[in-house]
Amino acid sequence: MKKELFIRLLSERRFKELKEDLMTMKAVDIASLLSQLDDKEIAIVFRLVPKDKAAEVFSNMNSSMQSTLVEIFSEKELRELLDNLYMDDTVDMLEELPANLVTRILNVTPQNERNIINQLLNYPDDSAGSIMTTEYVDLSPEWTVAKAMNHIKETGIHKETIYTCYVTWQRKLIGIVSAKDLMTSDDNTLIKDIMETELISVSTHTDQEEVAGLFRKYDLLALPVIDTDNRLVGIVTVDDAMDVVIDEATEDITKMAAVAPSEKTYFETSSFAHAKRRIPWLLVLMFSSIITGSIITKYENAFAAIPLLVSFIPMLMDTGGNCGSQSSTLIIRGLALDEVHFGDFFRVVFKEFQISIIVGIVLATANGLRIFIEYHNSGLAIVIALSLIVTVTLSKIIGCTLPLFAKKIGLDPALMASPLITTLVDTCSIIVYFNIATTIFKI
Amino acid sequence: MKKELFIRLLSERRFKELKEDLMTMKAVDIASLLSQLDDKEIAIVFRLVPKDKAAEVFSNMNSSMQSTLVEIFSEKELRELLDNLYMDDTVDMLEELPANLVTRILNVTPQNERNIINQLLNYPDDSAGSIMTTEYVDLSPEWTVAKAMNHIKETGIHKETIYTCYVTWQRKLIGIVSAKDLMTSDDNTLIKDIMETELISVSTHTDQEEVAGLFRKYDLLALPVIDTDNRLVGIVTVDDAMDVVIDEATEDITKMAAVAPSEKTYFETSSFAHAKRRIPWLLVLMFSSIITGSIITKYENAFAAIPLLVSFIPMLMDTGGNCGSQSSTLIIRGLALDEVHFGDFFRVVFKEFQISIIVGIVLATANGLRIFIEYHNSGLAIVIALSLIVTVTLSKIIGCTLPLFAKKIGLDPALMASPLITTLVDTCSIIVYFNIATTIFKI
């Protein structure tokens, strides 16, 4: 529905029509509409949202809107909301809310749920434990399909997914049964006869990137999370895995641009916070590139003799930087997608060397010809052509090896991207260039 | 299972044990194991794979392995395989196979399926039509839940997902029912009474990026694809949407590093193909940065008078490039995730301006102080500090506006990333620097 129409209905207090509109809208869309209203209006509209949708709308709001609502809710409303929120959404909310509101929420939570919440809050960021939910369908191996279906009918509504059911024995995970298997099996079949026992599972401390990798590889809808005693403690669902995939890509892309990653969107981050995330690497890189500058001063005689030499510095530096970034980017992405590994070191270097030769010769020929035509100076053409070939090769070798080494020593390969590579390659290209120039021109 | 053990079993022709091992392995893992064998071994092992898993193993193989098998298969084997392959996997395979094998496959395909395949092959790359499957569960609005469950029991095994069922009337899509609703409703309830009629659907020509965005926003498991007459023609499932998310991120990351994107992995692409994808942008950028060089020659007098000036060129160019990349990267990613839009133009520019001031002052102070301490030259310190502030601001404004303009005129914002921004910013920073220097030093 159009936002304008909605706001008109709201200002004219035509609540009945509003309520009807809210019935047909998706929860995400209601949340995004609410984000455009002021605090007072949010509260009014939220109370008009149909009961069965309220929790989902709430979990799609940003934390400042959630705070507003928690603050004004009566104890009864709060309890009702918490009853319908999935455990993982409750925990996500608690991680963002101010302390006084967290206390408010925990006060209306029953003791047993409070224990689960506290445990979930303690899992490290980016671990399977931090993204899992504790609401799953639990079956006994001795049940029949009919009994299992009945169990789902009675309890399934409040489970985050019923499409993968978990068969446990003394709390230990012993098998899984998909809803597809249940729906296509005879009523009297025993669960233990149709359950799959070759299980893919992760531990609470498994990194979320690895979790997402398993979803991708095995096309899963849900993944069980077990503790050290093989007891089932929760599940990760595919929608959360999809969010992880996107967040991890964003994190890599941001890191590759020398920005410290943030979990908030561009506009949610304040200008000051943006500056804080960008300054550290800029400082490091700025001071590193001073080295390149000081190397240039060593060749003062060279460019005092032939001032034209200076004008090729940007072209060589840029080309080197670009070549290095191309290689490092492809390797960083390959590592992230598990397509390239440290064990491939020599294969990668050999491949990049081959590529460098082709790329170097093409660039050198193009630029050498241009220089010869423009300046009628074959010496200069040769200096630039040779410098290009060496720079391209060096850049690509540096670009492909650094991410691999970073991975090997446990650093994030994404840090070895464009900015750092550019700075390193700059120094190399300047040294190569002036050495070739002074040799050929005998300066 | 360990590859070594597997190969030993194979060489000792202990097929019975091999067969048992294959029973417990996941299809993806079998495919990845097969990729390490030679053609003859692949054929032997593939024939040992349990019938119900063979199609899934096949669809996880790369196209050269698929070709090998198609070539040696008997007509009967081929027909059996095709019967069990999902339509979207068949189409994916046909897109990669050489023409003679495509003919071989189409010859054993029944006419009606051949028509569907031909239609699917005709959808544009990266469209919803090209990633959808035609195997979905179709219900009638007048059926009861019990009848629907029975229908799923009979036909569901061959459907790619049964968790979202589609209610159609005269082939038109009129509602959806989740398996969860079916499993938690009473047997006699009519489908039309529980179906959801607020539908999210896409057309066959919708871009796959938009499709993936809908999955992300609404946490879907499947999405219906309809034609211009609102007739249901297929569905996209969440595992394919996840692949799209990853492919699109890879494509953006590669483009942002000035590499033409490829659908193959790093090692699958030949060195020559790699070079071909990298050379065009390198050439464009190389010749663009010659402009920067020719601008430098205009200031020959300046660096002839104060040669030290040359040594700050790399630092200014790199810092400008990095600042610009930071901004452009965040905006490119924001656009891709639908968090930033062209309509936010002034908000973005204002925000980047604020950030520039903070970043500029910090960098200028740090570097100005260093220069003052090292060279005891306050003039030089002021020149560098001022140049830094102006360069940072210009770079960030260029960096944030270009992707927005690109989006507006229908270009891919990812092209406006680091390499292009760096080249543009270089020219600006050189002009700013030498102008400030010549003014302050009165050269």
CB contact under 8 A, B26 and A265: no
A403 near B CB under 8 A: no
Contact across the interface for B303 and A315, Cβ inside 8 Å: no
CB B132 within 8 A of CB B225: yes
Residue reference for tokens 């005092």: A304
Which of A180, A272, A321 shows the shortest C-beta gap to B358? A272
Residue A129 to chain B, least CA–CA distance (Å)? 20
Q: Could you tell me if B366 lies within 8 Å of chain A, comparing CB atoms?
A: yes
Q: Cβ distance B47 to B73 under 8 Å?
A: no
For A30-52, the pLDDT digits (tens) are: 888 888 888 888 888 888 888 88
Instruction: Please tell me if residue A369 touches chain B, with a CB cutoff of 8 Å.
Output: no
Q: Which of residues 97-136 of A touch B (CB under 8 A)?
A: none
Residue in chain A nearest B243 by alpha carbon = A216
Specify the DSSP element, H or E, that contains B71. Answer: helix B63-72
Helix and strand totals (H; E) in chain B: 22, 6
ipTM of the complex model: 0.83
C-alpha distance across the termini of chain B, in Å? 75
Tell me the domains of chain B and their CATH numbers.
3-122 (1.25.60.10), 138-237 (3.10.580.10), 271-440 (1.10.357.20)
Decide: helix, strand or coil at residue A173. Answer: strand
- Copy the structure tokens of residue A336: 């992230």
Contact B28 A366 (CB under 8 A): no
- Chain-chain contact of B253 with A329 (C-beta, under 8 angstroms): yes
Cα separation, B142 vs B139, whole angstroms? 9
pLDDT in tens, A90-134: 888 888 888 888 888 888 888 888 888 888 888 888 899 989 988
Interface of A with B in 27-86 (CB under 8 A): 28
CA dihedral A213, A215, A218, A220 (to 10 degrees): 170
- Using CB atoms, pick whichever of B156, B216, B326 lies closest to residue A183: B156
Q: What is the dihedral sign for C-alpha A7, A9, A10, A16?
A: negative
Chain-chain contact of A314 with B307 (C-beta, under 8 angstroms): no
Residue B289 near chain A (CB below 8 Å): yes
- pLDDT per residue, tens digit, chain B (443 aa), is 567 788 888 888 888 888 888 888 888 888 888 888 888 888 888 888 888 888 889 988 888 888 888 888 888 888 888 888 888 888 888 888 888 888 888 888 888 888 888 888 888 888 999 899 888 999 999 999 999 999 998 887 778 888 999 999 999 999 999 998 998 888 899 999 999 998 999 999 999 999 999 999 899 999 999 998 889 999 999 999 999 999 999 888 888 888 888 878 888 888 889 889 889 888 888 888 888 888 888 888 887 788 888 889 889 988 998 899 899 989 999 998 888 999 999 999 999 999 999 999 999 999 999 999 988 999 999 999 999 999 999 999 999 999 999 999 988 888 887 778 888 888 899 899 999 998 988 87
Average pLDDT for runs of 10 along chain A of length 443: 76 86 87 86 88 87 87 87 85 84 86 84 88 91 93 82 92 92 90 92 93 92 92 92 91 85 85 89 85 84 82 89 90 90 94 95 94 90 94 94 92 83 87 91 81
The answer to whether A272 faces chain B, any CB pair under 8 Å, is: yes
Residue of B nearest to A241 (CA): B242
Contact in structure between A389 and A354 (CB atoms under 8 Å): no
A330's CB contacts (< 8 A; 6+ apart) are A400, B254, B257, B259, B266
